[in-house]
Structure 1
Amino acid sequence: MAPKFRSNVWDPILIVSQIICMQCLFYVSSGLLLVLCALLFLDAGPHLGWLFDDREVRLGKPSGQCVFVIFLLAPVFCSMGLWRLVRRTKQCLDFACTLHFWHLIFCTIYTQHFPQTVLWWMTNLISVIVTTVMGEYLCMRTELKSIPLGGSPGAAGNC
């Protein structure tokens, strides 16, 4: 039997590599945006607590507002990462949830308590949704590009 088009092959090394790359993309993009926000709008320098402490996500403080906005902008970069690294519409939700699951674990380790603030949970839920929807949209656009099937000599050169 001939292999199917884009058949799924179980490759744990590839999957773990993609998860690590997505996690790195999430933290690098969030970190760079936080540094930029701190330089432009805040008097204080950024610190790791802004990325990992659930109590830092609050709308009553300028730094908390920055953290809130950054965690709503990071999904844009993560969805582009899904599009370029994962390239499968069906796997976008899996990778978005895995990314935020590990973020939850890292936050719990950093603060030594389970995140309890409602705004942190809402921000991460919105982040998962935006990452998934944008990633699926970008991947679907790529997957649904027309595949030339014509038998003309010019069609073979367009691949």
Structure 2
Amino acid sequence: MSFKDQRRRRNRRPATRIDSLAPTRLATQIVILQTLYYVTAAIFILFTCLVAGTPFSLDLIFSWKTLRIDTTIGWTICLVWFLNSIFNVLFLTIFVGRSKMIFDFVLTIHGLNLLITTLYTAHIPASLLWWLLQVAFIFSMLTLGTWASRWRELNVMYFPTAAAPSASVAANSQAVNREVSTGLSDDAEEYELVERQEDLELGAHNTGAPPLDSGNKSTSNGNQ
């Protein structure tokens, strides 16, 4: 086996490993996003309970019965969950970063939330407010997450070939201008020399003096 064949096999192995770990990578992203979804919600709810002087419990995170509109703490928890959904758009942009996959991850997060809430309360959520809030959370995360991911994708893209033709055109135009200007200056100098030589010969002929060339020849003969 030649050295080139060994090098090709070594270059092919990492691509195969990455392809085989694709499901594991997706599962890892789902676990991270779901964990951050509950961690940020717990932080926001804990801060709200400390400010409002209400005892903190896991029911405020995993139970659908705490989302109510007839109490102040119920309204506050609803607003906190909405703030949490908007804040998690940042995590979607960082860990996913692809606008085509935002829809799948958002539905996965809220699908797992429905499953965990059902298992925690041992009952499927029967509150219309809870379902309406889930729809609002999905819509907000899907809209903002898609926009942020597209902005990130377009921000990374650049077009270096677009500037190259303009630069080459500018350089060519400058070179042409220089050639034209140098050509004109050379022609002007030659024209001035010829005109001066004709004036000298005409002046010598009028005064009866020998031409410039003949004078040079006689001088050279006398020196010899």
- 2 CA distance for matches of 1:122 and 1:103? 14
Higher relative contact order (CA 8 A, sep 6+): 1
Q: What is the aligned counterpart of 1:123 among 133, 149, 152?
A: 133
SS of residue paired to 2:140: helix
Cα pair 1:71 1:124 within 8 Å, conserved: no
What residue is the counterpart of 1:155 in the other structure? Answer: none
SS of residue paired to 2:124: coil
* 96-105 or 68-77: bigger deviation: 68-77
Gaps in structure 1 of 5+ consecutive residues: 1-8, 153-159
The answer to whether the aligner puts 1:15 opposite 2:29 as a matched pair is no
Q: TM-score, normalised by structure 1?
A: 0.85
Q: What is the aligned counterpart of 1:86 among 85, 96, 114?
A: 96
Q: How does 1:1-159 map to 2 (within 5 A)?
A: 11-40=22-51, 42-145=52-155, 146-150=157-161
Which aligned segments of 4 or more residues in structure 1 are displaced greater than 3 angstroms?
none
Q: What's the CA shift string for 1:25-49, capped at 9, x where partnerless?
A: 1001110000111111x22222111
Gaps in structure 2 of 5+ consecutive residues: 1-18, 165-224
SS of residue paired to 1:77: helix
- 2 CA distance for matches of 1:36 and 1:84? 25
Q: CA deviation at 1:148?
A: 3.2
Overall identity of the aligned pairs, in %: 24
AA matched with 1:65: W
AA matched with 1:58: R
AA matched with 1:12: P
Q: TM-score, normalised by structure 2?
A: 0.61
- 1 CA distance for matches of 2:49 and 2:104? 32
Q: How large is the Cα RMSD of the aligned pairs?
A: 1.5
Q: What's the CA shift string for 1:92-122, capped at 9, x where partnerless?
A: 1110110000000000010000001011011
Larger radius of gyration: 2
* 71-80 or 11-20: bigger deviation: 71-80
AA matched with 1:20: V
What residue is the counterpart of 1:6 in the other structure? Answer: none
- 2 CA distance for matches of 1:77 and 1:24? 14
Count of residue pairs brought into register by the alignment: 143
SS of residue paired to 1:144: helix
Higher helix share: 2
